[in-house]
Every structure is written in structure tokens, then in C-alpha cells.
Amino acid sequence: MKDKIILLFLFFFAIFFFSKKIEKPQAIDAKYYYEMARKIPQLDSIPLPFKQRILAPFLAKLLSSNLSLNFFILSLITILIFIFLFYHYLLKKEIRKETALLIIFFLLFNKYHFGCFIFDFYRLNEILALLLILLFFYGLEIKNFLLLLFAFFLGVLAREIVVLLCLVALFYTFKEKKNDYFLACLPGLGIFIFVRLLFKDNDFSYLVSALFDYSKKIYSLSALFRLFINAFAPLTLIPIIEYQLTFSYIKRNFDKFLFFILIFLSTLLGKDNERLMAPVFIFFYPLIGEIFERKMKDKKFLILLAILGFPSAFHHYWNRFPIKRDLTMILSFFSLFSITLTYYFIGIRNKERY
């Protein structure tokens, strides 16, 4: 019961820390989602690919006439369900409660993976996608056909990125010589294609344009830093320090590593960087949990890591208490290097073999 209370405290504290007030959308994509909820089913004025992400606006439309409040309430409910399910997912991986709670803390206070979604609650589609990705991987592990079908079907209606999970299911199909995994994706693939054929202006030219505009980031050191280092700060360097354990984890969880690669490739179609790596939570955070479980068993060290990591949650915009951009960078680097050094000098002393 104590761990559930701590989870609720982390949830409410994250809401307080990142949210401001319920108001009309400011960001461009948030405005589109709001307009979709207001105009459903007449979506001709909404540009691609936004009008294909119909799940969240549809749900927001169902509640009440106050669309802003609907988006806010649904976002909070989705986040709460997600953190409790992910917490239990970590426990099933034989990660102790103390370590699992620390992992939830780092995920909730990652400003790029959750903070921005709490602040801009109109991005409900992205939170729903994370929840459905979690359910899909859990369905793979427990071999539950209906859960796979449910998670994939709804997921592709939230964000097109979820369609990449069919390749993970295909990997499982060849790995275990069972067709159930990929067959569970067929209804979702059908609705995914149907939604795209539904709109007459969908000639897929926007994908070519996006690839031309954003694929150049693969040659940009700044973009690669943001995708691979900043997106997972302040924990980024720990898997590199523990490279042996990381390689062992990849061998045992190649499906999640495959998804990691696919998500990275998908970022070449998008303007943002760190935020687009949020679906990689299913690969990265259980890896961190496994490393901490092996090397950081003392509770006081786990608490120390949380204290050192918290400053990285501050942002110049996505905060109740926004600070200057330069200061957010300084705090992020402080957390990244202080946690890395603390782990190196404390965790590395544990010589447990892999």
C-alpha cells in the first residue's frame, strides 16, 4: 500500500510541477487536435497527418461541451493508468519496489517524455500511444492475442508511430513460429489503411516532403545529441558504463531493441527530436531498472539519484515555474554528470557478474 501512495504522490507532484492552467491550445498541433474534437466528423480543414490521429479528439468529444477540460481530464486519467501499469510491469520483471518507484520518478519527470504532455494536455494522442505501446509489449510477453489486437487497433488511431509494432509482431512470429502475433495486427492495419484512404487529399506526398526536410538531422551532431543523449538525460550514460549488462539485456529483449531502432528511424520524418523518442521508454527504463537492481541496492543511494536527477526536470516553457533556457541547460548537464559520476563511483564497485 505504501508504494501506491508514493505513486500517487509522484503523479500529483508531476501534475503540479508541469501544469499551469486549463486554457485554449497554444501549440500548432494542439490547436489542430482541439479543432478536430470541435468539428468531428468534418475534418477537411485539418491538415495531414493530424486529422488521421482521431482517437483522442473523438474521446474528448464524448465527454462534455468543455473540450479543454475534457482533454485535461483524459490526459490525467491516461497518465495515472500508465504509471500504475508500468510500475506493475517493472515488478513483473523482478525489479524491487524501491527501484521501480525510482524508474517511475525519472520517467514522469523527464520533461521531453512526460513533462511536455502534462503541460500541453492537448497532446493526449501521444500519451494514449505510450499506454497502448506498453499494453502491446505486455501482450507479447503473456501471449495474449486479444490484448495485442486491442492495443494495436486503438494505437494506430492515436499515433501512426504505433504501426511500427507490427514489425515487432512479425519478429515474434518468426522467432516463435506462431502466426498469432502478426494476425493480431491485421485488424489494426486494416483500420490504419482505411483512415488514410478516407481523406481524398492523402496522396502521401507529405511523407516525402517530411523525409526530405527532416532526414538531414542524421548528419547533425546537435540533432543526434538531442535524440540519443538529451532525450534520456540524466540517465543516458549509465547503459554505456554498464555496456556488458546492456548487451546482455539487448540479447534478451531484442524485440524492444528493434522497436528502439524503428523509433529512431521514424524521427527522420518529424521536426522534433527528444519528444519523438518517448516511445523508447519500453526499452530504456526497464534496462535502467535492471542495472540499478544489480548495482544500486541501497535505498539511500536510490534517493540520492532522485535528488541529483530532479534539476533536469526544469524547462524554460513546460513548467509551472519556467526558468531561462540557459539555466535549464546548466541544470540538465549538472544532473547528467552528477548522476553519472555518482553511479560510477558507487554502482561500479559492485562486481556482480552478468
Q: What is the distance between the alpha carbons of residues 315 and 312, in angstroms, rounded to a whole number? A: 8
pLDDT digits 0-9 by tens, 265-287:
999 887 888 899 999 999 999 99
Write down the H helix ranges in 48-164.
Answer: 55-63, 67-92, 97-108, 116-119, 124-142, 145-158
Residue 200: pLDDT band (50, 70, 90) is low
Q: Is 95 helix (H, G, I), strand (E, B) or coil?
A: coil
Q: What is the distance between the alpha carbons of residues 154 and 151, in angstroms, rounded to a whole number? A: 6
Mean of the per-residue pLDDT values for the chain?
Answer: 89
CB 291 within 8 A of CB 238: yes
pLDDT at residue 76 greater than cutoff 80: yes
CB 336 within 8 A of CB 237: yes
Dihedral of the alpha carbons of 88, 91, 96, 99, in degrees to the nearest 10 = -60
What value does the mean pLDDT take over residues 129-141? 96
pTM, two decimal places: 0.94
Cα three-residue angle 316-27-31, rounded to 5 degrees: 155
Q: Is the dihedral of CA 35, 36, 37, 38 positive or negative?
A: positive
Peptide bond preceding 187: is omega within 30 degrees of 0, i.e. cis?
A: no
State residue 63 phi and psi, 5-degree precision: -75, -70
Grid cell, residue 106, equals 525519472
CB 191 within 8 A of CB 156: yes
Residue 154: pLDDT band (50, 70, 90) is very high
Look at residue 249 in the predicted model and tell me its pLDDT: 96
Measuring CA to CA, which residue among 195, 194, 198, 166 is closest to residue 182?
166
Q: What Cα–Cα distance (Å) separates residue 195 from each residue in 69, 112, 164, 188, 341?
A: 27, 29, 16, 11, 49
DSSP class per residue in 139-173:
HHHHT-HHHHHHHHHHHHHH-GGGGGHHHHHHHHH
Q: What is the distance between the alpha carbons of residues 107 and 82, in angstroms, rounded to a whole number? A: 11
Q: What is the distance between the alpha carbons of residues 101 and 249, in angstroms, rounded to a whole number? A: 20
pLDDT at residue 57 greater than cutoff 60: yes
CB 106 within 8 A of CB 288: yes
Residue type, 145: F
Look at residue 286 in the predicted model and tell me its pLDDT: 97
pLDDT digits 0-9 by tens, 292-327:
988 877 788 889 999 999 999 998 888 888 889 889
Query: 141-163 burial, b if ≥16 CB within 10 A, otherwise e?
Result: eeebeebbbbbbbbbbbbbbbbb
